[in-house]
Amino acid sequence: MCQYSATNGVVGQWHDVHYGSFATSGAGLVMSEATAVSPEGRISIVCPGIWNDAQEAAWKKNVEVIHGQGGLVGIQLAHAGRKASSFIPWGDHAIASREEGGWQPVAPSPIAFDGYEIPHELSIEEIGRIVSDFTQAACRSLDAGFDVLEIHAAHGYLIHEFLSPLSNLRTDEYGGSFENRIRLLLEIVAAVKAELAARTPLFVRISATDWVEGGWDLNQAISLAKELKILGVDLIDVSSGGLDPRQQIELKPGYQVHFSKAIRSEAGIATSAVGLITSGPQAEQILESGEADAVMIGRAALRNPRWALQAAEELGEVVPWPLPLERGRTVR
């Protein structure tokens, strides 16, 4: 059992933040994405992690800055699985050599992702250590003061690799049937949930489909969401794809929202929607129509770090602005 400090009291108000758009709530959640639970769980040689004291201390400083500005902050705990050991994203080659700090990736089965090294097939003992890695990373996240924890089980990374029959060819208790393929995620969730403070929300990010025939699909995602609800997961962050290069995705505004709607309706659990959601009115319509309980903004915020302020302006809502930026406000 790990020890951790009490988290910020505003955690208990997370529903007020997420069950409305960023614009109308007057607050938002900053999520640190894909934070590795172990060195070999990193996507690239320069990706962040939270598996040691120095990392925990560094994250704590960042969390304190965000809290000091009245914000909430979450952390997405992840293991890259067979999509690990890549070079820096802006480099001139994809996979890091051993001399560059690379390593052999791991996976449920020794099936390489397109262009990557053949992964080591995890043993039962090694799977147990991964559950422990997620648990310890969750404890460190609480000690660092994060308000929300999210387990990354999407986009072809390790947990998704266990979920999909396209990447999981195991014949033991972690492969084959649906119940076996979801076992690792359920074990991680149960272990992490046992360590969480009562008022700390736990999200799980999933891919609702592989977009490949014979792979992971929406019906399985709905069944998984029902199991996660039983374990006390608060919200399913619904994305899709990332496991198989054969995926065929028709990109259009809000192209993944219908997955969120289906899981919310069929599993009776809160969901968030992502995917080509680019404006305040679009996000607000998704929430008001009941297709999701929250909207997560990723690439739109990379293009415009002040997206939430712009959305508020578009919707005519008054929200707090940083004082140095007040002159840019049009809605008062």
Domain contains 329 = no
Does a structural domain hold residue 147? yes
**pLDDT number for residue 20:** 27
Structure tokens at 213: 């025939």
What confidence tier does 22 reach under pLDDT thresholds 50, 70, 90? very low
pLDDT at 14: 26
**In this structure, what token pair is assigned to residue 259?**
């997955």
Q: Total domain count for the chain?
A: 1
The string of pLDDT tens digits covering residues 232-278 is 999 999 999 999 999 999 899 999 999 999 999 999 999 999 999 99
pLDDT digits (tens, 9 = 90+) for 143-197: 999 999 999 999 999 999 999 999 999 999 999 999 999 999 999 999 999 999 7
What's the predicted TM-score (pTM) here? Answer: 0.91
Q: What is the CA radius of gyration of the chain?
A: 20
**Would 258 be classed as within a structural domain?**
yes
From 4, 19, 116, 157, active-site residue: 157
Query: Could you tell me the pLDDT band of residue 9, with boundaries at 50, 70 and 90?
Result: very low
What pLDDT is stored for residue 6 in this prediction?
Answer: 28
**What is each CA distance from 274 to 56, 78, 260, in whole angstroms?**
28, 18, 9
Q: Which residues contact 253 (CB under 8 A, 6 or more apart)?
A: 276, 277, 278, 282
Plot region of 73 (φ>0 → left; ψ -120 to 50 → alpha; else → beta): beta
Q: How high is the pLDDT of residue 2?
A: 53
How far, CA to CA in Å, does 321 sit from each of 32, 302, 330? 22, 19, 11
Residue 26 confidence (pLDDT) above 60 = no
- The stretch 71-77 carries a mean pLDDT of 95
Q: Please enumerate, as own/partner, the contacts of 115-121 that have beta carbons within 8 Å and a separation of 24 or more.
A: 116/82, 116/83, 116/85, 116/86, 117/85, 119/81, 119/82, 121/170
Query: Is the per-residue pLDDT at 23 higher than 50?
Result: no
Residue 19 inside a domain? The answer is no
**Which of 50, 5, 8, 49 is closest to 27 using CA atoms?**
8
b/e code 271-310 from CB counts within 10 Å (16+ = b):
bbbbbebeebebbbbbbeeebbbbbbbeebeeeeeebbbe
Q: Name the packing angle between helices 218-230 and 183-195 (round to 10°).
A: 30
pLDDT at 28: 75
| pLDDT value of position 119 | 98
pLDDT tens column, 271-301: 999 999 999 999 999 999 999 999 999 999 9
Contact 153, 75 (CB under 8 A): no
Mean pLDDT of the chain: 91
Residue 35, domain extent: 29-298
Q: How does pLDDT run across 188-202, given as a tens digit for each residue?
A: 999 999 999 778 999
Residue 212 has pLDDT above 50, yes or no: yes
In a domain, 330, yes or no: no
Say whether 157 is catalytic.
yes
Per residue in 118-148, pLDDT (tens digit) is: 999 999 999 999 999 999 999 999 999 999 9
Q: What per-residue confidence (pLDDT) applies to 19?
A: 24
Q: What CATH number is associated with residue 223?
A: 3.20.20.70
Backbone angles phi, psi at 71, to 5 degrees: -100, 170
Assign 3-class secondary structure to 196-253.
CCCCCCEEEEEECCCCCCCCCCHHHHHHHHHHHHHCCCCEEEEECCCCCCCCCCCCCC
Q: Which helix (H) or strand (E) holds 46?
A: none
Confidence of residue 24 (pLDDT cuts 50, 70, 90): very low
Q: Is residue 324 part of a domain?
A: no
Domain assignment of residue 2, yes or no: no
